[in-house]
Amino acid sequence: MTVRGLAAGALAALESAERRINDLNVYPVPDGDTGTNLKLTVRGIVEALDASEATGRAELAREVTRAALMAARGNSGVILSQMIRGAAESLAETDDVAAALRSASDAAYRAVRTPVEGTMLTVIRETAEAAERLEQPTLPELVRAAEESVERTPEQLAVLREAGVVDAGGAGLAEILRGLTAHLTGEPLPEPPAYEEEIGLDAVHQELSRFRYCTTVLVEGDGLDAAELERELEPLGDCLLVVGDPAALKIHVHTDDPGAVLALATARGILESVEIANMHRQTVEREERLADALAAEKTCEAVAVVSGAGNRRLFESLGAGQLIDGGRTMNPATQEILDAIERAPAPEAIVLPNNPNVIMSAEQAARHASKPVRVIPTRSLQEGLAALVAYDSSRSAEANMADIFDALESVGTGAVVVSSRDAEPDGVPVRKGEWLGLVDGEAVVAAEDFEEAARAVLERLLEEPRDVVTLLAGEGAPPLGELQSWLEEEHPDVEVEVEDGGQPNYALLLSAE
């Protein structure tokens, strides 16, 4: 037995099953290339091994991993390459088949944020579970476990069920196992399982139907006429398919009136199996599941001092759970901050003071809190927002602090305010009532015209290369349309976001990153 021989066995199995697997391919994109992609990926590995001089186990494992990475074609090829990486890591150490399958499964799941079940992922995991359960699994037993897993994929993935197919990548994986087994046992490939008859429904209804019920009926009778039935069903919905022979027809249609479909079928013969699924509910359920997964429990709450109704909404939408109203002066009491920290349901917290004058009281509150608290010394609302973009409620306060400090380094902030008196802050002479522009807290420009001051601040912020500029309009801010057009013309590569912040005192707050 050689590794090259194993890979060649897998390749032979994939070559003979290529078309069948291509026909199954409706997910993630119905482009009918899964079989070809898996074949090309494995072929790349065989070719790399032909050219290889590796001898040691660890060295071979590394080469196979690398060859799989380089040869990976398409989504299924990438997933396969990750499974091979996992399996090779384990096989470099031990012959234990169950451990290799487990390692392949773990590696495959690790590389996607939201694993979709009813795919190759499910098949490798269930095969690994079967290997663990069987203790001394024989290869044919594992192939059978994989094939059974493939047959269950339509139960887990609606798009497969609707198209009446099993998962293409999963079927490919089962083929690979069959090929490996055939090589090891020296026996010819057993016949592949007969999924073919299921493929008829094809990818006809990949479109999200405007009808509510996916209706499938099997009707048995004598001399059934598929074409005639099709004509009668046509007006009732879309994604219509009638397949079979004169003795038995399978009807599939998306309709708002499944009753009418059943009536037509009953008039022809005896109904065997009827299935009516509410597709809209399926879509909603899927979305709800996704939303639930995202609303995982918090480890760390973000407490922020905020002013302005629009800014409150922004902070909330970015995940800040406890907001303290800074009022016109942005100067809340230490007790208010402490109360907010204690009120937060999470076991840890970060505090965003968002004003230089609040940092001290926030630190005092943190010292008196009953839970671990980190104060991020944000000096402005814009810094607070940038901090929240990097904030992750599932991580500890300590871990968040490190990430947020990194994020804050790349943020430049600015402001445009009306000067309340004649003064010369940072050497910039300004008269009462004039506009004063600040960059990172320092005065840089004074002007009678708002536009002029705002442009000067933006020019300073954009001296460094920036991707995104955010404008937070304050209470009584002049219209920002002209400034926006100017930005789009002068700095077309910069993305501009305008939000109605509603903060008092600062007509305009800006950030650039």
Q: Is the CB of 58 or the CB of 389 nearer to other proteins?
A: 389
Please state, in angstroms and rounded to a whole number, the distance separating the CA atoms of residues 127 and 151. 13
Regarding 314 and contact with other proteins (CB under 8 A), the answer is yes
Binding mask 180-209 for other proteins (x = CB under 8 A): --------------------------xxx-
Q: How far is the CB of 473 from other proteins (least distance, A)?
A: 14
- 381 touches 311 (CB < 8 A): yes
Q: Hey, which residues between 63 and 92 contact other proteins (CB under 8 A)? A: 69-70, 72-75, 77-79, 81-82, 85
Q: Is the CB of 139 or the CB of 498 nearer to other proteins?
A: 498
Please state, in angstroms and rounded to a whole number, the distance separating the CA atoms of residues 368 and 348. 13
Regarding 125 and contact with other proteins (CB under 8 A), the answer is no
Question: Which amino acid is present at 137?
Answer: P
The residue among 218, 209, 275 whose CA lies nearest residue 245 is 218
- Residues in a beta bridge with 251: 217, 242
Please state, in angstroms and rounded to a whole number, the distance separating the CA atoms of residues 352 and 377. 7
Q: Is the CB of 283 or the CB of 420 nearer to other proteins?
A: 283
Q: Is the CB of 31 or the CB of 234 nearer to other proteins?
A: 31
- 46 touches 7 (CB < 8 A): yes
Q: Is the CB of 5 or the CB of 319 nearer to other proteins?
A: 319
Can you give the C-alpha Rg of the chain in angstroms?
A: 32
Q: How far is the CB of 397 from other proteins (least distance, A)?
A: 17
Regarding 243 and contact with other proteins (CB under 8 A), the answer is no
The residue among 72, 76, 66, 64 whose CA lies nearest residue 26 is 76
Regarding 298 and contact with other proteins (CB under 8 A), the answer is no
Helix (H) or strand (E) holding 148: helix 139-156
- DSSP state string for 446-495: EESSHHHHHHHHHHHHTTS--SEEEEEE-TTPPP-HHHHHHHHHH-TTSE
Regarding 116 and contact with other proteins (CB under 8 A), the answer is yes
Q: How far is the CB of 291 from other proteins (least distance, A)?
A: 8
Of 55, 136, 273, 317, the residue at the interface with other proteins (CB under 8 A) is 317
Surface-to-core class of residue 284, CB atoms within 10 Å of its CB (0-12 exposed, 13-18 middle, 19+ buried): exposed
Q: How far is the CB of 469 from other proteins (least distance, A)?
A: 8
Of 390, 418, 428, 447, the residue at the interface with other proteins (CB under 8 A) is 390
Q: Is the CB of 218 or the CB of 390 nearer to other proteins?
A: 390
CA separation (Å) from 424 to 116, 329, 379, 421, 460? 62, 22, 22, 10, 19
Any idea what DSSP says for residue 236?
A: G
Please state, in angstroms and rounded to a whole number, the distance separating the CA atoms of residues 177 and 192. 12
Q: How far is the CB of 217 from other proteins (least distance, A)?
A: 26
Q: How many positions of this chain bind other proteins (CB under 8 A)?
A: 44
Given the rule CB under 8 A, which of 129-137, 243-251, 259-267, 384-392 is the region that contacts other proteins?
384-392
Surface-to-core class of residue 297, CB atoms within 10 Å of its CB (0-12 exposed, 13-18 middle, 19+ buried): exposed
Could you tell me which residues come within 8 angstroms of residue 421 by beta carbon, excluding any fewer than 6 positions away?
Answer: 432
Given the rule CB under 8 A, which of 108-116, 141-149, 221-229, 431-439 is the region that contacts other proteins?
108-116
Binding mask 410-449 for other proteins (x = CB under 8 A): ----------------------------------------
Q: Hey, which residues between 17 and 36 contact other proteins (CB under 8 A)? A: 28-31
Q: How far is the CB of 123 from other proteins (least distance, A)?
A: 14
Helix (H) or strand (E) holding 333: none
Q: How far is the CB of 364 from other proteins (least distance, A)?
A: 29
Question: Which amino acid is present at 299?
Answer: T
Q: How far is the CB of 470 from other proteins (least distance, A)?
A: 6
Residues that bind other proteins (CB under 8 A): 28-31, 69-70, 72-75, 77-79, 81-82, 85, 110-114, 116, 206-208, 287, 290, 294, 314, 317-319, 385, 388-390, 467-470, 495, 497, 499, 513
